[in-house]
């Protein structure tokens, strides 16, 4: 069982979809009232830059194409990704 799965179980959020692997664990901000995990887009980009040696623009392109596009297919408990306004 990975860290996020344990976190979900500890908070009675079984069945909540999340991005697997350790890639975006540090980007989790919390959860919604209906039990969906909330991720920071900027922190997801930051993780890719720091851990996959990508440039910011490459990380944005990779994230948008490979991760964000998958969210509609993750079901009703799919994660929410928030974008900073600043």
CA distance 63 to 6: 25
| More confident: 20 or 63 | 63
- pLDDT single digits (tens) 4-59: 889 899 999 988 999 987 789 999 999 999 999 999 999 999 999 999 999 999 99
Q: Phi and psi for 78 in degrees, rounded to 5?
A: -65, 150
> Which pLDDT score is estimated for 18?
92
Q: Which domain holds residue 75?
A: 3-82
Domain count, the chain: 1
d(CA 63, CA 55): 12
Q: Write down the pLDDT at residue 1.
A: 66
State pLDDT tens for residues 64-83.
999 999 999 999 999 999 99
What's the CA gap between 56 and 30, in Å, rounded? 24
Interior CA angle at 69 toward 63 and 72, to 5°?
A: 140
């Amino acid at each position: 069982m990975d860290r996020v799965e344990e976190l979900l179980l500890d908070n009675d959020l079984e069945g909540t979809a999340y991005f697997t692997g350790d890639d975006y664990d540090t980007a989790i901000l919390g959860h919604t009232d209906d039990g969906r995990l909330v991720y920071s887009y900027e922190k997801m980009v930051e993780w890719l830059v720091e851990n996959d040696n990508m440039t910011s623009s490459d990380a944005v392109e990779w994230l948008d194409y490979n991760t964000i596009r998958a969210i509609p297919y993750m079901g009703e408990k799919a994660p929410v990704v928030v974008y900073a306004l600043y």
